[in-house]
Chains A and B, each alone.
Chain A
């Protein structure tokens, strides 16, 4: 009783707070010296170039910065003017007689359900009617993540950075180690976020959503988990090897499944993939497995991007 009273008094006087000792803030150790040196060096180069140009009496070069700004602003404004002028000639938005309201969207809307089996017309359009474009889009995602890997992943020849990497992996650098509030909330939120993400992916052909949005939700969940528990815990769920193989298997399946579908379609063969009852989970042919593939790729890519920016490795 006395203890409770003491605590109450402390709380009343503002001497204690439930969050003391419950969260921690880590200040990122930025090497300011290096940054300053970089800025100073760039400044130095600029001043030197300008001085040299002055000595050469090269007026154009000495004032290059100003001229460049003026010319680029003028170029942008003129492009803007041209585009605005063009828009004034275009048909009104949403008018029924517009050229875009022709037989193409008509068939998507009227026969979409029957032909693709997907209640969500958008899913039917991007993953069945125009699946080749969407295949290209997922390749854009794949190559973009490849370029980020090239740029940020720490290579084998980089001893200094590798040492830093090991430090981060032991969670000594950025990760909070006993942030109770974040951890407890994550314990509650993480399963919900993941289940919601899986729901959005699996219902992509029935309701709005699909692989891209569901995958983004799952990726956000993984990032939250990493922020709360650090790398040692997160590596039990997902690590570089898994990211690599999940992406590989999903993309290969996507590529082969779509190739099969294109091949049978172009040769006027029966694909033999059942469409199922519209509205059921197991329906609309290949759309569901493709959505799952896209969801996995997006989730892994989002997590990998975050991790690459954070420590230079997945």
Chain B
């Protein structure tokens, strides 16, 4: 066996070991360890991607001395390696670009915990991507969920703890449904390994046995993973979770935490249940309709927001809808368009959140008066009604001043922090779908996938919703962009950004343009990878 086949396994273990090492380090050292580990993971994933693309093959890897139905196993193909590479690259950029916000928003004695969470999130995402076993997938879904909860509450303000509880409740409901689904599936097939379940389901389909349990299983797993990734009727946790955590956390949550589940769902559809059984069950039609509603409702809600972070959170709802709508098309072109849109969103949303942090840092600060501070120390609840932004029940961090994300306060921020505003501009171009940026090509492939469907209703539904949702998106994004470049009466002091912030955001911009220009190659790799799934 070639040595390179060890790399997926190495990357999972490096992530976990990095997290464990962070537990005994101070904040700054933990940051370097985390950075180094993620860098190594990126290189490992990239070389595996090159290997699988050159040989056009996929391989399985035994986790131990026993072959698959008895031991554990991971699988790496082109799709998996591409996703792992993209995820590790994004995490790397977020760690670098958001380092300053992590330092500021978390208690000094707890900064290393942020990097423990990051390391475990990375490991869990990689394991979710590479896994070939449903129970392993469930274990790493758990790690992913708890890490995301930690990211929300590590800020320890009243509202962030409340939204962490909200997230946890919704997410645990989703995990529970997935677990029940896996249990039922094990009862009727007797296997946990993806390929074996697939064979059993084929046999069951031929004999017509267990049709009701199988349908329920498909429903439970789909609903469970849809709740965890925030599809429309289950999206209520998204706005609070993204807007009450600090920028680095929001970037990680929006870009990655919810994306691992979507990839897992696609993998389960293709490798476990099989496209034929899925198409026969009409679950995909429901996913398709929910996706369409999400595309519109997310944008409509976003129009009414006065906090730009909440606006971007609702934009996420809408984009999750895009991805699920593509999955709902049920064709291979639809799946690869869904994955391309997933990458595009994973690259753009963290960039927007980091750019917004830069914009907010030059917006007028809401200083608390001495009385308010006194009162806040005595009665944290009193602040809740006054500020509406951060409530400082648990700690007194950031009590002195906090940045404003309010629409009315960001006027003219584009002149005070040109770089952050430019990044926001690029991000919104990409989200809206201006040619040259990632969003354009992914929307193009969505439209092309829609033309490939057989039913005319689906085609027209996709086209109309796509157009309508894009127009709404132009409405709310360009409203902010115009506001950024208006004249304001604040003194014009240009802010100097830190070099690592500029470095990270520039790479994000470059990656966006790269996806926009070379999406053809990515789609090719994805399509041949998805063919090998089946």
Contacts and interface: CB of A to CB of B under 8 A. Distances in A.
A136 B140 contact: yes
B72 A133 contact: yes
B276 to A, nearest CB: 20
Contacts of B212: 85-86, 89
A91 B188 CA distance: 8
Contacts of B408: none
Nearest to A131: B64
Nearest to B116: A146
The winner among A86, A144, A264, A271 for most chain B CB atoms within 10 A is A86
B62 A143 contact: no
B70 A104 contact: yes
A129 B200 contact: no
Contacts of A247: 23
A175 interface: no
Interface string A196-214: 0000000000000000000
B317 interface: no
A101 B190 CA distance: 7
Interface string A53-95: 0000000000000000000000000000011011001110000
B455 interface: no
Contact of A251 (B20, B63, B70, B381): B20
B23 A244 contact: yes
Interface string B134-161: 0110011011001101100110100001
Interface string B62-76: 111110011110000
A3 B387 CA distance: 72
Interface residues of A, number: 63
Contacts of A104: 69-70, 190-191
A255 to B, nearest CB: 5
Nearest to A269: B65
A136 B127 contact: yes
Interface stretch (A12-20, A151-159, A186-194): A151-159
B143 A136 contact: yes
Mostly helix, strand, loop or mixed at chain B's interface?
helix
Interface string A122-157: 000000111111011101101110110111010111
Contacts of B161: 151
B6 A143 contact: no
Nearest to A248: B24
Contact of A149 (B71, B110, B184): B110
Contact of A150 (B110, B189, B190, B396): B110
Interface in A241-268: 244-245, 247-248, 251-252, 255-256, 259, 261-268
A146 B30 CA distance: 14
Contact of B65 (A103, A132, A271): A271
Contact of A146 (B23, B135, B377): B23
B358 to A, nearest CB: 25
Nearest to A145: B23
A264 B190 CA distance: 29
Interface string B316-352: 0000000000000000000000000000000000000
A155 B23 contact: no
B210 interface: yes
Contacts of A271: 65
Contacts, number: 186
A133 B135 contact: yes
Contacts of A143: 116-117, 120, 143, 146-147, 150
A91 B149 CA distance: 38
A115 interface: yes
B395 interface: yes
A244 B23 CA distance: 7
A177 interface: no
A92 to B, nearest CB: 11
A230 to B, nearest CB: 24
Contact of A255 (B17, B23, B216, B396): B17
Contacts of B108: 155-157
A149 B191 CA distance: 37
Contacts of B184: 86, 90
Interface string B373-402: 000010101000000000000011100000
Interface string A100-129: 111110011000000100000000000011
Interface in B112-145: 113, 116-117, 120, 123, 127, 133, 135-136, 139-140, 142-143
B395 A157 contact: yes
A139 B120 contact: yes
Given A86-B213, A89-B212, A143-B150, A153 B110 contact: yes
26 contacts: A86-B213, A90-B187, A102-B190, A102-B191, A104-B70, A107-B70, A130-B71, A136-B127, A139-B123, A139-B143, A142-B19, A146-B113, A146-B117, A147-B146, A147-B149, A155-B397, A156-B107, A158-B396, A248-B20, A252-B21, A255-B20, A262-B62, A265-B65, A266-B6, A266-B64, A268-B1
Given A133-B72, A266-B63, 8 more contacts: A133-B139, A139-B120, A140-B146, A143-B120, A255-B13, A264-B65, A265-B65, A266-B9
The 7 A-B pairs at the shortest CB distance, nearest first, are namely A155-B107, A99-B190, A136-B139, A265-B65, A132-B72, A132-B63, A100-B190
Interface of A: 37-38, 41, 82-83, 85-86, 89-91, 98-104, 107-108, 115, 128-133, 135-137, 139-140, 142-144, 146-147, 149-151, 153, 155-158, 160, 244-245, 247-248, 251-252, 255-256, 259, 261-268, 271
